Amino acid sequence: MAFYTELVEVTLFYFVYKRRIIDYGILGRLLLIQSYSYITYGVENLFFQLIGKQDTSINSMICGFIFVLIEYILFTKTTVVENLDNEYGKVYFFLILYLYFGSIAVYYLANYVIKIDILAYTIAIIIIIGQLIFSLYIYNSSKKIRQDKLSLQQIKDLKIYTQQLESSQRSLRKFKHDYQNMLLSLKLSAKKSHDKELIDKLAEYSSKTL
C-alpha cells in the first residue's frame, strides 16, 4: 500500500512541476529521491536483522539521521542531480529509471523475503546494489569517452582554424608587400607625370587602411 501511495505522490509532483510534455529533469529527480528511499529502507532492515536488534525508535532515528546526511551530501555535493541537466541528461534519466526498478526490488525483498531467508535477502541486496554501482560506472566511463572524443575533435578544428588564419596572414603580408611595391612604382612614375599630389593622397589612404 505504501508503494502505491508513494507512486501517486511522485506522479502528482511530476505533473505539478514539469516544464514541458516530457520533463526528464523533474521526473529523474523524483525517481532519484524515491529510489534512495527504497534502498535505504532495505539497508536499514538488513542492518537490524544482522545485528539482531529490534527496530526501536532511537535506532530508527539514528539511522534516519545518517541516511538524511548521506542524502544531503549525495544530492548537493556531487553531480548526481546535475547530470540530468547536461547534454547526456536523457541517457542518464534511463539509468535512473533502471535504478528505480532496482530499488523497488530492494523494497519488495525487504518486506517479504527477509522474513523467510535473511541469507538470500543479503545476497540479493548485494547483487542489486552491485549492478547499480556497475551501471553508474559504465555511464561515467562512456560519458568520459564521449567527452574525450569531443575534445579531440575540438582540438583538430582549432588546428585547422589556426592553419587557415596563418595562411590568411601570410597572404595579407604578401598583399601589403606587393601593394607597397606598386605604390613605390606609382610614386616614381608620378615624378615624371607630375601626379605627385594624387599619389600622396593614395599613400595617406593606404597607411590608414593597411
**Mean per-residue pLDDT of the chain:** 75
CA gap 33, 184 in Å, rounded:
78
> What pLDDT shows up at residue 201?
62
Q: What does the pLDDT read at residue 40? A: 83
Higher pLDDT, 187 or 133: 133
Share of the chain above pLDDT 70, in %: 70
Which of 24, 6, 25, 26 is closest to 16 using CA atoms?
26
More confident site: 189 or 70: 70
* Distance from the first to the final alpha carbon of the chain: 81
Is pLDDT above 80 for 118? no
- In this prediction, residue 5 has a pLDDT band, given cuts at 50, 70 and 90, of low
How does pLDDT run across 153-183, given as a tens digit for each residue? Answer: 888 888 888 888 888 887 777 777 777 777 6
The DSSP letter of residue 85 is G
16 touches 80 (CB < 8 A): no
d(CA 58, CA 38): 20
Residues 6 or more apart from 43 whose CB is under 8 A from it? Answer: 125
C-alpha cell at 114: 527477509
- pLDDT at site 26: 81
Band of residue 122 on the pLDDT scale cut at 50, 70, 90:
confident
CA atoms of 32 and 151, how far apart (whole Å): 30
In this prediction, residues 103-111 reach a mean pLDDT of 77
pLDDT digits (tens, 9 = 90+) for 6-55: 666 666 666 666 666 777 778 888 888 888 888 888 888 777 777 766 65
